[in-house]
């Protein structure tokens, strides 16, 4: 008889170990373990109580209890048999629950029970500390060895405690990873915003507001503006601030490929679809599934490709070149152009229906000449970027800055970035002067500023410095970071505008208020 019982218990332990090994959910797994104990070993009911956040023992898993009975199973640490087992960390046997004064039956699950009920409880310990109690009921039988039951349940409690410990470790690790991912995403989003949205001009403030409004939505966005204004980065920011930020962001330059190759690039092709198609290839829309596709220079698309694009926008489906199978995609579309698409529609070069599908939420990215007050901040931002790239600290002299503010920047921000990189390589000293700037930046430039105009430009820069210092409680390093300049460059500006005494006085006042 004993050998048969031992074989059965071994089988149960193997089954419990198998379930725990395949577990994905803590509560469901614990319920399954208790079910196996009750069904296989003729135990009428089983409960697992764990120490909860209120400092009490509550039922985490059960078998043979109703929802109401389970809800009533909450114990103080000094209450009843369950509390006694938890505090002593020792097994407890009740041969007949009706004769045990410590036995409370708080769940009231035994009130209508017929027959003699025995109770066995063993402690659950995690890292050597009491964490809960495993309890089982069974009908009393003379031939039952309570000692064997206790030994068996102690082994089960060890398996359960190890599983709970491992599960908690994974939960904590998952929570930590989620926090790290959230932090990285916020840093990534913030870096995109800092990289592009430099400056406090009214035109850029409008762009910033529109980005914030449209990013959380699913709306198609049409970015308008001259080449080099930052439309690609604007599209990237919108993607990073959207619910699709964890999914692909796919860029396609519609002007870079001829019509036949562009169609294959966008929609993919099957083997043999055209000469050179030696294997099937997914298109960019398939790669962007679940994420965002950015179609730059969309005004360069031929009418034939426009027709297929319209179908994707309207019906979210397409076929690869050379295929009959229809594929579906979930893609957000952001398009960009430096053309007047409304004029292209009038000329018959762009489909009117496609234009209206794209023009759901247009954002015009201003040219650099339309926001001259942002030029100093942008120049200093790129200087800081190049400082990291080339390990050089440079600063523009007032004359050099004035000359660059009078330049029209036909290539916009891209042209400015290229200039600053060139200067970072070529300039010998620590300052960039007028003589260091290539001659083409003076051809076609606006006339030298009048004394009044020059004064206004200086005032703009001074106001930017003062505003940043005020926002950051006159801490120079923080104000410099906001303006995209180094601490050394901030010190130069404070000295240039004779602000040393003011900064010192305000910092002293703030320290005195503490």
Three-class DSSP category at 139 = strand
Backbone angles phi, psi at 123, to 5 degrees: -75, 150
Domain 457-513: assigned CATH number:
1.10.10.60
Query: Which residue intervals of 301-348 are DSSP H helices?
Result: 303-315, 341-346
Region of residue 250 (left: phi > 0; alpha: psi -120 to 50; beta: else): beta
Residue 45, beta-bridge partner list: 137
1-170 to CATH, choices 3.30.450.40, 3.90.1150.10, 3.40.50.10490, 3.40.50.970:
3.30.450.40
Residue 66 has, within 13 A of its CA and on its CB side, a CA count of: 7
DSSP 8-state code for residue 367 = P
Mean pLDDT of 219-231: 94
Region of residue 397 (left: phi > 0; alpha: psi -120 to 50; beta: else): beta
C-alpha to C-alpha distance for 229 and 417, rounded to whole angstroms: 11
Is residue 90's pLDDT more than 70? Answer: yes
Q: Which pLDDT tens digit goes with each residue over 410-448?
A: 899 999 999 999 999 999 888 999 899 887 777 545 555
Q: Which pLDDT tens digit goes with each residue over 266-321?
A: 988 888 777 777 788 898 999 999 999 999 999 999 998 999 999 999 999 988 88
Q: Which CATH class is domain 371-442?
A: mainly alpha
Three-class DSSP category at 61 = strand
- In the structure encoding, which two tokens stand for residue 415, read together? 């042209």
Model confidence at 142, pLDDT cuts 50, 70, 90, reads low
Q: Which pLDDT tens digit goes with each residue over 144-176?
A: 677 888 888 888 888 888 888 888 888 888 888
Higher pLDDT, 297 or 37: 297
Residues 6+ positions from 235 with CB-CB distance below 8 Å: 221, 223, 249, 251, 292, 294, 334, 336
DSSP 8-state code for residue 447 = P
The domain spans of the chain are 1-170, 204-366, 371-442, 457-513
Model confidence at 453, pLDDT cuts 50, 70, 90, reads very low
Q: Does domain 204-366 have CATH number 3.40.640.10?
A: no
Is residue 111's pLDDT more than 60? Answer: no
Is residue 141's pLDDT more than 70? Answer: no
């Amino acid at each position: 008889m004993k050998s048969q019982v031992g074989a059965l218990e071994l089988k149960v332990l193997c089954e419990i170990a198998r379930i725990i090994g395949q577990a994905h959910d803590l509560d469901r797994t614990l319920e399954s373990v208790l079910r196996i104990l009750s069904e296989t070993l003729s135990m009428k009911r089983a409960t697992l109580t764990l120490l909860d956040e209120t400092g009490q023992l509550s039922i985490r898993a059960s078998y043979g209890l109703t929802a109401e009975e389970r809800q009533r199973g909450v114990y103080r640490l000094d209450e009843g048999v369950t509390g006694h087992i938890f505090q002593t960390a020792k097994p407890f046997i009740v041969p007949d629950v009706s004769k045990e004064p410590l036995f409370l039956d708080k769940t009231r699950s035994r009130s209508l029970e017929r027959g003699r009920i025995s109770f066995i409880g063993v402690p659950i310990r995690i890292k050597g500390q009491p964490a809960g109690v495993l309890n089982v009921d069974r009908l009393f039988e003379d031939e039952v060895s309570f000692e064997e039951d206790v030994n068996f349940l102690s082994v089960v409690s060890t398996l359960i405690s190890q599983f709970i410990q491992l599960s908690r470790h994974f939960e904590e690790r998952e929570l930590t990873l989620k926090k790290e991912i959230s932090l990285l995403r916020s840093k990534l989003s913030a870096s995109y915003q800092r990289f592009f949205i430099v400056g406090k001009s009214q035109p850029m403030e409008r762009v910033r507001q529109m980005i914030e409004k449209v990013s959380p939505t699913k709306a198609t966005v049409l970015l308008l503006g001259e080449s080099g204004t930052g439309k690609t980065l604007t599209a990237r920011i919108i993607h990073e601030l959207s619910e699709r930020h964890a999914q692909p962001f796919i860029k396609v330059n519609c002007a870079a490929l001829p019509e036949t190759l562009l169609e294959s690039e966008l929609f993919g092709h099957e083997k043999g679809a055209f000469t050179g198609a030696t294997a099937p290839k997914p298109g960019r829309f398939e790669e962007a599934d679940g994420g965002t596709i950015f179609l730059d220079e969309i005004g360069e698309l031929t009418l034939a490709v426009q027709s297929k694009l319209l179908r994707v926008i309207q019906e979210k489906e397409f076929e690869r070149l050379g295929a009959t199978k229809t594929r579906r995609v979930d893609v957000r579309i952001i398009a960009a152009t430096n053309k007047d698409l409304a004029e292209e529609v009038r000329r018959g070069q762009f489909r009117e229906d496609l234009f209206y599908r794209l023009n759901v939420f247009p954002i015009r990215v201003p040219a650099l000449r339309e926001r001259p007050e942002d030029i100093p901040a942008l120049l200093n931002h790129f200087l800081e970027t190049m400082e990291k790239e080339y390990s050089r600290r440079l600063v523009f002299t007032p004359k050099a800055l004035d000359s660059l503010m009078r330049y029209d920047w036909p290539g916009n921000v891209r042209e400015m970035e290229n200039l600053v990189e060139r200067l970072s390589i070529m300039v010998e000293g620590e300052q960039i002067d007028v003589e260091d700037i290539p001659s083409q930046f003076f051809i076609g430039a606006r006339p030298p500023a009048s004394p009044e105009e020059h004064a206004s430009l200086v005032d703009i820069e001074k106001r930017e410095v003062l505003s940043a210092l005020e926002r950051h409680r006159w801490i120079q390093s923080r104000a410099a970071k906001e303006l995209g300049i180094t601490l050394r460059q901030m010190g130069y500006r404070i000295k240039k505008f004779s602000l040393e005494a003011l900064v010192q006085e305000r910092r002293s006042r703030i320290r005195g208020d503490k």
